[in-house]
Amino acid sequence: MAKQSIFGRIAQLAKANINSLLDQAEDPEKMLDQMVRDYKANITEAEGAVAQTIGNLRMLEDDYNEDVKASQEWGSKALAASRKADEYRAAGNPTDAQKFDNLAKVALQRQISSENEAKASAPNIAAQTDVVEKLKTGLQQMHGKLGELASKRNELIARSKTAEAQTQVHDALKSIDIMDPTSEVSRFEEKIRREEAKVRGQNELAASSLDAQFNSLEDLGEQTEVDARLAALKSGGTPAQPAISPAADAVDEADFDKL
């Protein structure tokens, strides 16, 4: 009964603490550490209760041993008084013989009383011994469970850290996924593409402007040649005739026939 009450109360306390921690569940490592501390506290409380139970058993055993010892002592006294009575009776002294016989009877009564007390406490001692053994076994089991809890704590914390690391790696990989249009790399690449396109547009504009400048130079060269020939005509000279195709020559003669 004592075993059930002690360990039952401790088990309820441990369960209540664990459930409370699980409900909070803020930090797995802190939660598991708290569970280990609470279980150690429960073991300490159980050890105190078991120690008290063992102490009570030892007191019963001491009383039993004292009763047994007293019974033996009273038995020895009864024997001594009986022998003394026999000596006086043999010496022809019945009065002293009777006196020591009476002392022997008193000693025997005390012996019987001590024996009865010892017999009465024996079943209680046996029951308490059985309880103490069960309590010791329960404590050993609790220490074993504490070892399992500590080992499980280490395993769960390792798994928690592994899961956290995997999550961090996954998030890191996702953040640099070049196929993901929302990633930083993709946005940076898009920005560079726009800058490259802008540069190409500027190059096209620059090329178009350069072609226009060369065209202007060609027009300017042709006009310069015309002016030079006109000046030669006015001065009475004969300007050099450029090579022209017959078709072009025919067109020019037709125009000049109209003059």
234 falls within a domain: no
Integer Cα distance of 225 and 82 in angstroms: 173
Contact 242, 249 (CB under 8 A): no
99 falls within a domain: yes
Residue 215 has pLDDT above 80, yes or no: no
Domain limit, last residue, from 128, 163, 198: 163
pLDDT at 227: 73
Integer Cα distance of 162 and 144 in angstroms: 27
Q: Looking at the structure, tell me whether residues 60 and 92 fall in a common domain.
A: yes
239 falls within a domain: no
Domain limit, last residue, from 138, 163, 188: 163
Number of domains the chain contains: 2
Q: Looking at the structure, tell me whether residues 28 and 69 fall in a common domain.
A: yes
pLDDT at 128: 92
pTM summary value: 0.51
Q: Looking at the structure, tell me whether residues 123 and 8 fall in a common domain.
A: yes
224 falls within a domain: yes
Domain range holding 183? 177-228
pLDDT at 111: 95
- What would the mean pLDDT of 101-121 be, rounded to a whole number? 94
259 falls within a domain: no
169 falls within a domain: no
252 falls within a domain: no
Q: Looking at the structure, tell me whether residues 128 and 40 fall in a common domain.
A: yes
Q: Looking at the structure, tell me whether residues 136 and 224 fall in a common domain.
A: no
Residue 230 has pLDDT above 90, yes or no: no
Provide the mean pLDDT of the chain.
78
Of 220 and 65, more confident: 65
238 falls within a domain: no
Q: Looking at the structure, tell me whether residues 51 and 123 fall in a common domain.
A: yes
Q: Return the structure tokens found at 142.
A: 């609790």
